[in-house]
Amino acid sequence: MKSILVTGGSGLVGSAIDQVKGNYTEDYYFIFLNSKKCNLLNYQETLNTFKMIKPDYIIHLAASVGGLFKNMSQNVQMLEDNLNMNMNVIKAAHTSDVKNMIVCLSTCIFPDKTEYPINETMIHNGPPHFSNEGYAYAKRLLEIQCKLYNESFKTRYICIIPTNIYGPHDNFHLEDSHVIPGLIHKCFLAKQSGEPFVVRGSGSALRQFLYSKDLARIIMEMIQNYTLTESLIISPREEHSISHVSELINTHFGNEIVFDSSYSDGQHRKTADNSKLLDFLPNFEFTPLEVGLTETIRWFTREYPNIRI
């Protein structure tokens, strides 16, 4: 039986992996690691944990993450925490003789000024958008670190680059969350208070949204069948405007919607090319946005207020 260690195991994607893992026939033993069990910002603690567990595979999901406004206000912390965490995980994995690992990047690491759609070869073709420099550069260095370890030590440290992930067990903090969980929480509170549902920005920005269970299924497919070490963008093809997403969320609550254009929209679009993913999984069916949002909102309203806020 192969053991798989998941960092960030109680978070959005780790929880999704826990939910879908039973659908795969090969025997795996999963260890879901969170910050209470191991502080990945401490190298010695990370190394000791990895040596004790001796995993066959690591899925590295843990990160200091947030939405647009957290990235803009905490750029230094986002840079330093993610640099330290990623360095500790990669180095400790290698020292513990872990040869196989999937690490999670983000499409926000791509250049601000670029041609669309973006693909896996374009990560370092220019600076990222100013709003998330700290997080983006830390993740870019993680991609370089994995590449150098693979070349130097014959490891298989594979970078996945998902688009905007959403789903149950997300962080629904009103200021520090990603766009969909933040909008769901605001829309819920607006319904309770009888006030308008205020969406920051014009609503015109475009994003590709990825349901967390879809990402979990793809990660499991990669563990079983992906033979390359090249990075892989994970994304549905469709783009949706923030205004459209806000309207879909609001169908569950029925508020008046107001777009506050005094706030930044961030990068207008980040259109990602998923052709390499479709070469690997040509018949993969993504969860439609309306279905994923419905499942996420049902989970949120059922679990509220005992969620990450």
Please say if the pLDDT value at position 61 is more than 60: yes
Q: What is the pLDDT of residue 128?
A: 92
The radius of gyration computed from the CA coordinates of the chain, to the nearest angstrom, equals 19
pLDDT band at 67 (very low <50, low <70, confident <90, very high): low
The model's pTM is 0.94
Please say if the pLDDT value at position 113 is more than 70: yes
Please say if the pLDDT value at position 23 is more than 90: no
**Residue 29 falls in the annotated catalytic set:** no
Residues in the chain: 309
Q: What is the pLDDT of residue 188?
A: 98
Q: Which carries the bigger pLDDT value, residue 12 or residue 266?
A: 12
Q: What are phi and psi of 126, to 5 degrees?
A: 165, 170
Please say if the pLDDT value at position 241 is more than 90: yes
Q: What is the pLDDT of residue 135?
A: 93
Please say if the pLDDT value at position 69 is more than 60: no
Report the pLDDT averaged over residues 100-122. Answer: 94
Report the pLDDT averaged over residues 210-229. Answer: 96
Q: What is the architecture of the domain spanning 2-170+207-238+271-287? A: 3-Layer(aba) Sandwich (3.40)
Q: Are the C-beta atoms of residues 152 and 308 closer than 8 Å to each other?
A: no
> Over pLDDT 70: what percentage of the chain?
96
Catalytic residue (one of 57, 135, 149, 211): 135
Q: Which carries the bigger pLDDT value, residue 126 or residue 132?
A: 126
State the chain's mean pLDDT as an integer. Answer: 94
Q: What are phi and psi of 64, to 5 degrees?
A: -90, 110
Domain boundaries, the chain: 2-170+207-238+271-287
Report the pLDDT averaged over residues 126-155. Answer: 95
Q: What is the pLDDT of residue 70?
A: 60
Q: What is the pLDDT of residue 130?
A: 85
Q: What is the pLDDT of residue 74?
A: 66
Q: Are the C-beta atoms of residues 279 and 228 closer than 8 Å to each other?
A: no
pLDDT band at 46 (very low <50, low <70, confident <90, very high): very high
Please say if the pLDDT value at position 301 is more than 80: yes
Each residue of 160-197: pLDDT tens digit?
999 999 999 999 998 878 899 999 999 999 999 999 99
- In this structure, the number of other CB atoms found within 10 A of the CB of residue 287 comes to 18
Q: What is the pLDDT of residue 190?
A: 98
